[in-house]
Amino acid sequence: MSELSRAAELAAANAAGMKLYARQWLDDAAAEDAVQEALVSLLSLKKCPEDPVAWMYVAVRNRAIDQARSGQRRKRREQNAARSEWFEASAENSLDAEEVQRALRRLPREVREIVVLRVWGGLGYAMIARIAQISVGTAHQRFEEAMKELRRNLFV
């Protein structure tokens, strides 16, 4: 049995404590992921650390802190995106931004997704099809149907 294999067994025997340690920063599932990622890192080393258990605790701590920070950044981005409006109202707009947003929200999610990708993302139908995992024809058809629906709702 190699030195790294013995180190991995020793680290695995202490995994429950490491998971508890990671829970200072993360929920249960994410803490377990941090421990597993640290173990994979240990196994990928060329040379075994002098104290594999201490090395693992440091690796678990670093991963837990990184994951927690990443989660906080993602949460802030999602909150900012949820607060942002699709339109900025201005005197030049001939349409009422709130009315257009209401009309967009009434569209089915899979259709609204196509509109957002096409209009605000500036993407072509081939790229939209790849993103939405549909055919190019379906992407085009959904966009055209969405535009007809929006015209009906906004220009009545």
Confidence check: pLDDT of 6 > 70:
yes
Confidence check: pLDDT of 87 > 70:
no
C-alpha span between 135 and 143 (Å, rounded): 12
pLDDT value of position 109: 87
C-alpha span between 144 and 63 (Å, rounded): 46
Give domain limits for the chain: 3-83, 97-154
Q: What is the pLDDT of residues 8-28, one digit of tens each?
A: 788 788 888 889 889 989 988
Return the amino acid letter for 119.
V
| Class of domain 97-154 (CATH, top level) | mainly alpha
